[in-house]
Amino acid sequence: MVDLGLIDRADDRPPYRQIAAALRRLIAAGRLPPGEKLPSETELIAHYGVARMTVRRALQELRGEGLVVAEHGKGVFVRSSPPVRRLASDRFARAHRKQGKAAFLAEAEVSGHKAAVDQISVTTERASAEVAERLGLGGDGRVVMRSRRYLANGVPVETAVSYVPESIAAGTAIASLDTGPGGIYARIEEQGHQLGRFTEEVTARMPTPEERKALEIGAGVPVITLVRTAFDLDDVPVEVCETVKVSHAFVLEYDFPAR
Amino acid sequence: MVDLGLIDRADDRPPYRQIAAALRRLIAAGRLPPGEKLPSETELIAHYGVARMTVRRALQELRGEGLVVAEHGKGVFVRSSPPVRRLASDRFARAHRKQGKAAFLAEAEVSGHKAAVDQISVTTERASAEVAERLGLGGDGRVVMRSRRYLANGVPVETAVSYVPESIAAGTAIASLDTGPGGIYARIEEQGHQLGRFTEEVTARMPTPEERKALEIGAGVPVITLVRTAFDLDDVPVEVCETVKVSHAFVLEYDFPAR
DNA sequence: TAGTGGTCTAGACCACGAT
DNA sequence: TCGTGGTCTAGACCACTAC
């Protein structure tokens, strides 16, 4: 059993915070490594000599921080993190596409992860107001919508939905399940829209229940949302991609001139 | 009094979630506008006919989502959100500095917020291993460390700590409380280091207890961390700035070529 | 002083997982 | 079946705020 310490009634912090702090320290120090089971509520109650609610408040604080995950009927476990993936802003370089690699897979190769894609679905529908605006489409603009989920080493890390104007996607592999070598962007360039620049809008928030399910994360784990718009050399928007990433699995890197 | 609804014992959601959902709906619908006081715990207990802990769990869920803020001795209030601030990657343009404006204030002016800076502290110390590495300093490299907190319309939205090598900062306004017109970057350029580019590393996570206190946010509100490194025209790193931003107060915008 | 939220106790019953 | 966490009750005392 790990060293849990004791509650100091003279401490100005309430007992539940002291218990949370003790557990947090053990996790940070690696004495409770990822995947390890914490002492059960019953054990913590006996050790600290407090009521169950007090122990539960401490555990709840750690859950809120995303440090631990409770599994009903099994116990409370230290959360194991997926590998961190650094996304550099040159990850869409044409050189990668020329080699037949989509961005996610090319990046995974550099990072040494085993990348996979699943839950692919492709439909054609009317663009939402927001997507239509970003793509510069009229009121009834139709788009091919591709959604999929990315996994690193078998762990879900990101969901993505791409929207390409039907005028560009129609009759190409963009509208089929397999987009072919180089991915969507290679197909778009083949349609005569050579890519010129990207914009990305990044923010973070707590996931919706649906996102928690798709990404297999507990409450208390934030997500990064990234909306990328691709423009061709005439500055015409040719794709919008909305992604939701598990926050602790990504570091986004950007490099820009001082101007 | 607002319409709280009642608990449906046939509902598969537990009572505390039903209560949370009812309050959440009222907030979303604007029936409980920002700044408004929620019914007190006593009132909710009487209305729903449940124990106090049940009501508190519901309120706690809302607090975790950042929707409400509890004020001891006063009540629970709907959180008033700080305005969303869009940060474009040209926010450090030299043109702003030429006009004597630091980046945060220049951006606020565009967005129409009332910006403020407080909790400024300046010290000189040995660089941490991470900062030393980013700045390309040797083992005992010393840096001027400037920390401060930014507020938009009086609400804390960001803390920032800048590190500038002492060799650049010594004897300049960088080492004094007021950095003068144009901020740190204007002073660095005056020292002969004209800025060439920036890199930014972005991720998101849950805040530490200290960050929660400094940013005055509840436990369920994620933060965006952004580490920016400024390089001069010779590609020598001249500043590292670590910021922690309240996630829902920011959208980061980046624009980069397809290459 | 009265009302508010913050913390705690000592029980209870339930649902889930492993055996 | 037993141990686990999930939810709930019905009290208690404390600290903070407003009057």
Instruction: Give start and end residues of each alpha helix (H) in chain A.
Output: 15-28, 41-48, 52-64, 94-98, 103-111, 129-135, 166-169, 183-190, 209-215
CATH at B181? 3.40.1410.10
User: Is the CB of residue B197 less than 8 Å away from at least one CB of chain A?
Assistant: yes
Give the CA angle between residues B254, A222, A205 to the nearest 5°. Answer: 55
- A160 C-beta neighbours (distance < 10 Å), count: 18
Our measurement of CA A45 to C1' C9, in angstroms, reads 12
Residue A48 within a domain: yes
Q: Which residues contact A46 (CB under 8 A, 6 or more apart)?
A: none
Helical spans, DSSP H, in chain B? 15-28, 41-48, 52-64, 94-98, 103-111, 129-135, 166-169, 183-190, 209-215
Q: What is the pLDDT of residue B194?
A: 94
Quick check: B46 CB within 7 A of strand D? no
CA–C1' gap, A22 and C9, in angstroms: 22
Q: Are residues B206 and B133 in the same domain?
A: yes
Chain A residues with CB-CB distance to B93 below 8 A? 258-259
What integer pLDDT is reported at residue B132 of this predicted model? Answer: 95
Mean pLDDT of the region A4-27: 90
CATH value at residue B31: 1.10.10.10
Confidence band for B83, pLDDT divided at 50, 70 and 90: low
Long-range Cβ contacts of A6-9 (<8 Å, 24+ apart): A6/A48, A7/A48, A7/A49, A7/A50
Q: B54 CA to D12 C1', in Å?
A: 17
Structure tokens at A137: 């489409």
Contact status, residue B62 vs residue B23, Cβ threshold 8 Å: yes
Backbone phi, psi, residue B108, to 5°: -60, -40
**Count of domains in chain B?**
2
Q: Is A106 helix (H, G, I), strand (E, B) or coil?
A: helix
**Which pTM was predicted?**
0.82
Q: How many percent of chain B have pLDDT more than 90?
A: 52
Q: Answer with the one of B25, B47, B78 that is the final residue of a domain.
A: B78
Check whether residue B13 has its CB closer than 7 Å to nucleic acid strand C: no
Asked whether residue A56 is assigned to any structural domain, the reply reads yes
B interface mutation test: which of A16, A212, A226, A255 has the most B CBs within 10 A? A255
Half-sphere exposure of B235 (CA within 13 A, CB side): 2
Nearest nucleotide to B73, CA against C1' atoms: C4
Q: Give residue B52's pLDDT.
A: 94
Do A48 and A129 lie in one domain? The reply is no
> What digits encode the pLDDT tens for the residues B170-223?
888 899 888 888 889 999 999 999 999 999 999 998 887 778 878 877 767 889
pLDDT in tens, A154-167: 778 899 999 999 99
Phi, psi for A180 (deg, rounded to 5) = 85, 180
Q: Residue B110 has what pLDDT?
A: 67
Angle, helices B15-28 vs B41-48, to 10°: value is 120
H or E element, residue A162: strand A155-165
Q: What is the pLDDT of residues B40-59, one digit of tens each?
A: 999 999 999 999 999 999 99
pLDDT in tens, B120-152: 999 999 999 999 999 999 767 899 999 999 888
Is pLDDT of B33 > 70? yes
B219 contacts in A (CB within 8 Å)? 61, 64-65
| pLDDT at A98 exceeding the cut of 80 | no
Which residues in chain A are contacts of B221 at CB distance < 8 A?
A: 206
Which residue range(s) make up the domain with A180? 85-252
Mark whether A145 and A161 lie in a shared domain. yes
Contact A146, A161 (CB under 8 A): yes
Contact: A65, B219; criterion CB under 8 Å: yes
At A76, is the pLDDT very low, low, confident or very high (cuts 50, 70, 90)?
very high
In degrees and rounded to multiples of 5, residue A233 shows phi and psi of: -65, -20
Q: Tell me, yes or no, whether A134 and A48 share the same domain.
A: no
What does DSSP say about strands B85-87 and B250-257: parallel, antiparallel, or unpaired?
Answer: parallel
Q: What is the pLDDT of residues A178-187, one digit of tens each?
A: 888 888 999 9
Domain final residue, candidates A32, A54, A78 = A78
Mean pLDDT rounded to a whole number for chain B = 87
What whole-number distance in Å separates Cα of residue A207 and Cα of residue A243? 12
pLDDT of B212? 80
Residue finishing a domain among B30, B53, B78: B78
pLDDT at A253: 93
The rounded mean pLDDT for chain A is: 87
Quick one: A195 and A138 in the same domain? yes
Q: What pLDDT sits at residue B136?
A: 93
Residue A241 domain flag: yes
Nearest residue of A to residue B252, measured between CA atoms: A202
Residue B1: predicted pLDDT: 64
Whether nucleic acid strand C comes within 7 Å of the CB of B38, the answer is yes
